[in-house]
Structure 1
Amino acid sequence: MNDLLKKLVSGLDQNPPLTEEQFHTILRDIPVNFPSDYLAYMKEFNGGEGVIGENGRYVRFWPFQELLEANEDYAVDKFAPGLFFIGSDGGDTAIGLKKEEGFFIEVPFIGMSDEEAVERGGTFTDLLIFLSR
């Protein structure tokens, strides 16, 4: 994990990491090709919540083992089949990825659709930089 990414997530309350076996078992079942910096973050910290950077936004990145269930609970495949959620802003906005393009997005939970998704970065680090402003 790069130094900038570590700095950006340093204020988050992190979750206990999964074992390597647990991580890869879950990863195998998720229909997304995640950027490598997101996978590095999840391997080390398994999600977390708090404010990004000194003046950034509040976020909650869901633990890896909760991703599939959370996407099912929000009926993402029904309302926005091209998206996969990885967390939220703790309010009305989901944070996720466009499955095919592989870039990070934000989209409102209410009225969610593929068309409403707004690109926020091609890497997890890019997303965190955006959220830190």
Structure 2
Amino acid sequence: MPSIPNEYINYVRTKGAFEGLTRDETEPGYVALWPLEELTKNNADIEIEMYAPGFVAFGGNGGGEVLAFDATGAVFMLPLIGMESKYATRIAEDFKELTTRFEI
């Protein structure tokens, strides 16, 4: 499983686990970041290593998809039902780019 990028760790430590919308109808629309202490359990619960190896989830969109990093730190959406790496949709180059879309 890839490691969680430092940008995510620092963001959640300083600003908390963001929950809200993204601007201008950009993906993912709704974001619910997971607190750092829940990452390991949540990833185990959804069995991401089995169904989408190479990804680590860090939140969801409230609509049946998780937000996940790949080994490069790029951000993807993955469906919870029928989860497979081939269904991953890239939505940001990195976490910093994703945060520019948050409606704060």
Q: TM-score, normalised on structure 1?
A: 0.65
Aligned residues: 101
| Equivalence for 1:41 | 11
Q: How does 1:102-121 map to 2 (within 5 A)?
A: 102-121=73-92
- What fraction of aligned residue pairs are identical, expressed as a percent? 27
Of 5, 15, 34, which residue of structure 2 is paired with 1:62? 34
Return structure 1 stretches of 4+ with deviation > 3 angstroms: 53-56, 128-132
| Structure 2, gaps ≥5 residues long | none
- Measured after TM superposition, the shift of residue 48 of structure 1 is 2.6
Decide whether aligned partners of structure 1 residues 131 and 79 sit closer, same or farther in structure 2, where only a CA change above 3 A counts.
Answer: farther
- Measured after TM superposition, the shift of residue 131 of structure 1 is 6.7
Q: TM-score, normalised on structure 2?
A: 0.81
**3-state SS of paired residue (1:115):** helix
Q: Would the aligned equivalents of 2:59 and 2:67 in 1 still touch at CA under 8 Å?
A: yes
| Structure 1, gaps ≥5 residues long | 1-29
Q: Which has the larger radius of gyration?
A: 1
